[in-house]
Amino acid sequence: MKFPSLNSVSPLEIILLAIFVMYLLFPVPTPSFASPYINSNLGMAMVIIVTFYMIFYTTPILGILSIFVAYELLRRSSNSITYNKKVPIVKFTPSQPQKDNEMKQMNPPKVLSLEEEIIENYAPVGKSIFPDSYIESSFKPTQDKLISGSML
């Protein structure tokens, strides 16, 4: 790959390189009148188109630097204080304890109905206090003769 010599770089590209470096180094906020236009779909598309133009038709250093400038422009215009509608570009996920708290709020503790309480207290026939032992009951299942039961 052949790098352009200093003579082939136009003065306009050198000035643009200096402006890009200064924009990246110093926290220059986006003007409040331009922020809504940059945050719109058309504004973001224009920023991307200009960035692609800079990549393909200028020097490689200026093209790569234009990617960082486009990202910073979108990030700084989304964080504008004067613009009421904030558009997050990078959105972090909440921590697991915060997610658990939100799930507890969405799913309150279950309140048992009268039927469920009765079934819970009285239905388990043969349930003992100790899970290892079984209670003998007087119920004995009986079985009739199964004559041609497989035909059914």
Q: Provide the pLDDT confidence category of residue 88 given band limits of 50, 70 and 90.
A: low
Q: Provide the pLDDT confidence category of residue 40 given band limits of 50, 70 and 90.
A: confident
For the segment 16-39, what is each residue's pLDDT rounded down to a tens digit? 999 999 999 998 888 888 888 888
- Mean pLDDT for the chain overall: 79
Q: Which residue has the higher pLDDT, 120 or 45?
A: 45
Per-residue model confidence (pLDDT) at position 20: 93
Per-residue model confidence (pLDDT) at position 81: 47
Cβ distance 38 to 47 under 8 Å?
A: yes
For the segment 51-73, what is each residue's pLDDT rounded down to a tens digit? 999 999 998 899 999 999 999 99
Per-residue model confidence (pLDDT) at position 35: 85
Element (H, E) at 118: helix 114-122
- Residue carrying structure tokens 């800079």: 54
pTM comes to: 0.50
Q: Where are the domains of the chain?
A: 11-78
Is residue 88 classed exposed, middle or buried when 0-12, 13-18 and 19+ CB atoms within 10 A define those classes? exposed
Q: What is the mean pLDDT of residues 125-142?
A: 65
